Amino acid sequence: MDSLLHTLEGVRDIYNEECSRKNALSAKLDRILKLYGYKDIQTPTFEFFDIFNRERGSVPSRNMYKFIDRDGSTLVLRPDITPSIARAVAKYFKEETIPLRFFLLRQYIHQQFKPAGQDEGDDPVGCRADRRS
């Protein structure tokens, strides 16, 4: 029973004052990034494994949480935000004028060795600007 009270490697609970500080910081970042022309984007928490292959992702395959869907496709919990945003931009914003600026205030999940005392889980601010000509 005690093992059910622990979180998995790579994630942790955030609550009380820390949760309040995190939410306040997220709201402030949201306002600032919008002042600089960045737009919100949210991508799924899980994606097809192929989105995060070696050319597109920064996380080794062995560090990804993978599972198989009912159709036999390999899915992963989003280990990196850049490939997810690139996939969404390629699908929905092909005809848009560049540069495109997006930001994502969400968690990504991967297994990674962390020395004792370091927190688990990563909550990045992902800002991406496409500057192709």
Tell me the per-residue pLDDT of 68-78, one tens digit each, with 9 for 90 and over. Answer: 999 999 999 88
pTM for the whole thing? 0.74
pLDDT of residue 7: 85
pLDDT of residue 36: 93
CA distance 7 to 4: 8
Calculate mean pLDDT across residues 88-94: 93
pLDDT of residue 107: 65
Calculate mean pLDDT across residues 87-93: 93
CA distance 39 to 113: 33
Sheet order of strands, 46-48 included: 46-48, 74-77, 66-68
Q: Which residue has the higher pLDDT, 21 or 121?
A: 21
> What share of the chain has pLDDT > 70, as a percent?
74
